[in-house]
A and B are shown apart, each in its own frame.
Chain A
Amino acid sequence: MKTLNKVLLTGFSLVAAATLVGCGGDKAKTAQSPFVEINKDPFPSTYKALTSVPTLIKNVNVYDGLGNLIENTSVLLENGKIKAVGNKLPTPADDANVIDGKGKWLTPGIIDVHSHLGVYATPDTGSHADGNEMVKPVTAAVWAEHSLWPQDPGFRRALAGGVTAMQILPGSGNLIGGRGVTVKNLPNRVIQDMKFPDAPYGMKMACGENPKRVYGKKGGPMTRMGNVAGYRQAWADAQNYQRSWDKYKKDYDAGKDAKAPKRDLNLDTLAGVLRGDILVHMHCYRADDMGSMMDVMKEFNYQIASFQHAVEAYKIADKLAENNVCSAMWADWWGFKMEAYDGIRENIPMVANAKACAIVHSDSDQGIQRLNQEAAKALSDGQRAGINFSKADAWTWLTANPAKSLGIFDQTGSIEMGKNADIVIWSAEPFSTYSQAEMVFIDGGVAFDRNKPETWAVSDYELGQVAEGDRK
């Protein structure tokens, strides 16, 4: 989110009003109150990259995240960016900054579009259950970043799995759960320190079982049809809200002393979606639920960036492609509730095979540590069913596609010149169970080096506890 200090615009608006006075006309005599505009970024990112030095990784095999495999090449990192990829790159002055990647693999850092780290932190006590504002079906007003505990030990574990960025979402008890936040996986003292610079906001919605289970005996919705009515009413309210602000601006611009509408934090977020500023990430399992939601999307003219979990995406992969909606999926989770009963292991490759956007996600503090293996399983299950993607293709499910769905692909998600140096060096081919993230760079700085325990982050919670600083 760009840092725009909208408060300053108050002064700007007064100038505009004065100009109107200069133009003459009866209305010009009406004194206008300062124009009220909503600050879209009141919690700006204070992220600072780690110190970095120019680094050359030589003789390494690269999955670039765009579907290409480049064997035995070099990658140069400089000023936190990917400076060049190729064979005759300049060597940094200091030998210490040359890494021999022989027998190793380099990829873009993994991006998880569905995490609850920090909002359901470990230890998972009631005290830390800050991810699900289950007090009413629509809580678009809440922001996950206001729950996020940067001291969650899970961040460091995810880093050891090669995860350089993730979206932290509120939970799925509500029709509309609130805003998510995209973070760099470099925890620091306050939440703002982790916020991914210039990442758009996401908004969490949830289909199906969860909202009806939570609200069925608390005033509803208690059915899927109740769910859909709830979303539609929320969008209709947001349209109304948007119209009232549009009218205010129009009247103000016309020189009237217009009264600003009362702010409604729920509707601020929903209107942000309708404006296209905020991306919708929607927890839906069943194909029919996703079908209904794509119609709601068209009715109210917004875009669903992704269906999350999307256990039945394989049933409607063609429709997902037509509607340009990504599916974020597990490799093999299934059966823990009815809407997960039709889960199959070929879901991810079948979605990709229909030319729809496929993403591997975790929704798990364990799964986030091994997303490369999740992609590997999906890839090989697809291959056995006759869907022949390459490993390089499958890596797009872990980096480029999630980055696109989060609106940060201009900055990260592929090995390309000028992109952030968010990269992983793997000890072996990363579709092997035995391969491990050996070094993880975020913006060119070394965030994790498996061979140097002094680089292993230790959260405040872990200090002074059993096994502080141990291998995790």
Chain B
Amino acid sequence: MSKLTLTAIATITALTFSAGAQAEKIAIIGGTVHTMTEQGAIENATVLIEDGKISKVISQEVSTDASYRVIDAKGKVVTPGFIGAFTSLGLVEVSSWAGTNDASVAKSKLHAALDASLAVNPDSTLINISRIEGITSAATSVGNTDSIYKGRGAVITLGDDADPVMKKRAFMSIDLSNSGADVSGGSRAALWVDFRNALNEAIYAQSINFTPQTEWHGTLSKANVQALIPVVKGEMPLLVQIHRASDIRRIIKMTDNFKRLNVTLVGASEAWRVADEIAAAGMSVILNPESNLPYTFEQNGATLANAARLNDAGVNIAIGMNTHNIRLAPQHAGNAVANGLPWQAGLASLTTAPAKIYGIDKQVGSIKAGMQADVVIWSGDPLEVMHAPTNVIINGEEVPLESRQTKLRDRYLKIDNEKPQQYTRP
């Protein structure tokens, strides 16, 4: 591939230069770039980054002027940063028996009205641990409550940002699976009535201008019903944890009456049995493709083929349900590929698919001019367990591949027996 000396590029970058921007200009040169756009994968490509954004994607190697820091990506794979599809990142440090865990809410009067964006901790050690393995943004929400509602989740960046919330109140998360039935009195016969009633109350509440004095006799509290208004308007995606095929059919059927609901199914072990109907309803699915055991009676149909079968039917699928180990999402996608999912769909499940679900696909999830510069360079196929990122760029800034875990590693790799270990700085 011949190199282009780019006067043209210089002109373009000059045009987009903004006086206030201090961010580094980066040129990633020579890698195989998976753009996740109609451009597809480009070998020996160049990606230019400026002012926190991708400024240009060029389908050949170029030589840049000295204002760019060049990252040599020859022989490597370049992808958009991966998006944690369903996490509690930033809300939890240690989940069990270790003090405050903002991902777990019990005995609160807030249900639908919970707001994860107010709890996100940018200093959580999970952020660095996740991002150095290619996760650059994530949907995050409360995971455990004593109601079907997990409240309003946020989308966050894993870059160095004092306020990491990219989109607050980005989605509503509810549980319509067995565990949702359990907290609804122990039966779907109660669960679905409660849920339908809640949506009806929200529709009614749309026309109310709530004040502390407003009379309101609904079963939901004022705060909770107000939180559901954007959901019934279709302005806020509704994430529904669900498994049983018949339950999936029921939520699809409900969209006949609540036409604006923008539903994504989560978990969805038996979704493959209803794949065509899900595709026809235009619903996306977030799943763990490795879940192949009948943990409950509602998951008897669980199979490693779930992701592939849904994709075959044309369903938009996202992979990545975890928090401490959301970094394993690429491995999960790899295993979906090993079980029949096309590789490109595997990569999409970590990038464009979650971006689409959260309505942030104009911002992240693909590599093209104007997108937020979340770009990862991998030693090889990112879905292969033995490959890893060599460079991670978030919001146009390359982050150091360091975390509390790498520091622990480095301390014990060079332990000095002549002095107490705590005097060894990694």
Q: Is A213 a contact of B97 with CB atoms below 8 Å?
A: yes
Give the distance to chain A from B269, nearest Cβ to Cβ, in Å.
10
In angstroms, Cα B299 to Cα A345, docked, is: 32
- Residue B303 lies at the interface, judged by CB distance under 8 Å to chain A: yes
Chain B residues near A462 (CB-CB < 8 A)? 294, 300
Are B293 and A157 in touch, CB under 8 angstroms? Answer: yes
Complex Cα spacing A472 to B405, Å: 35
Closest to B325 in A: A332
**Complex contact B412–A314 (CB within 8 A):** yes
Interface residues of B in 388-426 (CB under 8 A from A): 388, 405-406, 408-409, 412-413, 421
Cross-chain contact of A465 among B300, B304, B386 (Cβ < 8 A): B300
Rounded to whole angstroms, the CA-CA distance of A131 and B295 in the bound complex is 16
Task: State in angstroms the CA–CA spacing of A373 and B290 once bound together.
Answer: 13
A314-B412, A466-B301, A467-B300 given; A345·B405 CB < 8 A? yes
Residue of A nearest to B343 (CB): A434
B294 touches A465 (CB 8 A): yes
Residues in B with CB closer than 8 Å to A436 are: 338
Q: Across the interface, do A337 and B386 meet the contact criterion of CB distance under 8 Å? A: no
- Evaluate whether A337 and B335 lie within 8 angstroms (CB atoms) in the complex, with A365-B293, A467-B303 already known: no
Give which listed residue, B94, B270, B295, B327, contacts A338 with CB less than 8 A: B94
A380 on interface, CB distance cutoff 8 Å: yes
How far, in whole Å, are A314 and B337 apart by their CA atoms in the complex?
Answer: 33
Are B293 and A344 in contact, with the CB atoms below 8 A? no
A431–B384 CA distance with the chains assembled, in angstroms: 9
Is A376 a contact of B385 with CB atoms below 8 Å? Answer: yes
- Asked whether B95 lies within 8 Å of A335 as measured between CB atoms, the reply is yes
Within 8 A of B (CB), among A450-466: 461-462, 465-466
Shortest distance between the CB of B298 and any CB in chain A (Å):
9
Q: Say yes or no for B273: interface residue by CB 8 A criterion.
A: yes
Residues 328-361 of A, flagged 1 when their CB comes within 8 A of B and 0 if not, give: 0000111111101111111000100000000000
Q: Across the interface, which residues of B come within 8 angstroms of A336, CB to CB?
A: 94-96, 324
Residue-wise interface mask of B (91-102) relative to A, using a CB-CB cutoff of 8 A (1 in contact, 0 not): 001111110000
Q: Name B's interface SS.
A: loop
**Contact of A124 with B386 in the complex, beta carbons under 8 Å:** no
Residues of the A chain whose Cβ atoms lie less than 8 Å from the Cβ of B304: 471-472
Q: Is the CB of A366 within 8 A of B290?
A: yes
Q: What are the residues of chain A within 8 A of B292 when measuring CB–CB?
A: 157, 369, 472
- Asked whether B413 lies within 8 Å of A433 as measured between CB atoms, the reply is no
* With A153-B293, A365-B293: A335-B94 Cβ-Cβ less than 8 Å: yes
Chain B residues closer than 8 Å to A466, beta-carbon distance: 245, 270, 273, 300-301
Cβ proximity bits B251-279 to A, threshold 8 Å, 1 near / 0 not: 00000000000000000001001000000
Instruction: Judge whether B291 is part of the interface by a CB distance below 8 angstroms.
Output: yes
In the complex, B177 has a CB within 8 A of chain A: no
Q: Which of B93, B94, B386, B421 is close to A376, meaning CB atoms less than 8 Å apart?
A: B386
Q: Which size class do B's interface residues fall under?
A: 35 or more
Contacts of A472 in B (CB 8 A): 292, 302-304
Which residues of the other chain, A, contact B291 by a CB distance below 8 angstroms? 366
Q: Smallest distance from the beta carbon of B76 to chain A beta carbons, Å?
A: 14
Chain A residues bordering chain B, tally (CB within 8 A): 53
Cα of A465 to Cα of B408 in the assembled complex, Å: 48
Q: In the bound complex, do residue B385 and residue A315 qualify as a contact, i.e. CB atoms below 8 Å apart?
A: no
A411-448 contacts to B (CB < 8 Å): 431-436
B338 touches A434 (CB 8 A): yes
What's the least CB distance linking B158 to chain A, in Å? 16
Task: Give the residue name and chain of the A residue nearest to B305 (CB).
Answer: A471
In the complex, which of the residues B294, B305, B383, B405 has the most CB atoms of chain A within 10 Å of its own CB atom? B294
Task: Give every chain A residue within 8 A of B406 (Cβ-Cβ).
Answer: 344
With an 8 A cutoff between CB atoms, is A197 at the interface?
A: no
Write the nearest CB–CB distance from B400 to chain A, whole angstroms: 15
Assess whether B328 is interfacial by the CB under 8 Å rule.
yes
Residues of B within 8 Å of A435, CB to CB, are 338
Residue A304 is within 8 A (CB to CB) of chain B in the complex: no
Q: Is the pair A154, B324 in contact by a Cβ cutoff of 8 Å?
A: no
Q: Which residue of A lies closest to B406 (CB)?
A: A344
CA of A466 to CA of B300, assembled, Å: 6
Contact residues, B34-54 vs A (CB, 8 A) = none
Identity of the chain B residue whose Cβ is nearest the Cβ of A367 in the assembled complex? B290
Answer yes or no: A385 CB below 8 A from chain B CBs: yes
A157 proximity list for chain B (CB < 8 A): 292-293
* Mask: chain A, 155-177; 1 = CB below 8 Å from B; 0 = not: 00100000000000000000000
Interchain CB contact under 8 A, B405 and A343: yes
Q: Which residues of A contact B328 (CB under 8 A)?
A: 332
Return B3 CB to nearest CB of chain A, in Å. 31
A149: shortest Cβ distance to chain B, in Å?
13
Contact B331 A373, beta carbon cutoff 8 Å = yes
Q: Does A123 contact B (CB under 8 A)?
A: yes
Chain A, Cβ-Cβ closest to B387: A380
User: In the assembly, what is the distance between CA of A373 and CA of B384, in Å?
Assistant: 9
Q: Which residue of chain B has its CB nearest to the CB of A314?
A: B412
Complex Cα distance, B406 from A346, in Å, reads 9
Query: Which chain B positions have C-beta within 8 A of A376?
Result: 385-386
Q: CB distance B386 to A344 under 8 Å? A: no
Chain A residue nearest to B328 (CB atoms) is: A332
Collect the chain A residues with CB atoms within 8 Å of residue B294's CB: 122-123, 153, 461-462, 465
Q: Report the minimum CB–CB distance from A282 to chain B (whole Å).
A: 20
Q: A338-B94, A433-B338, A434-B334 are in contact. Are A154 and B303 (CB under 8 A)?
A: no
A336-B96, A470-B305 known, 4 other contacts, Cβ within 8 Å: A122-B293, A123-B295, A332-B328, A366-B293
12 contacts between A and B (CB under 8 A): A122-B294, A123-B294, A123-B299, A315-B421, A380-B385, A431-B385, A435-B338, A462-B294, A465-B294, A467-B301, A467-B303, A471-B339
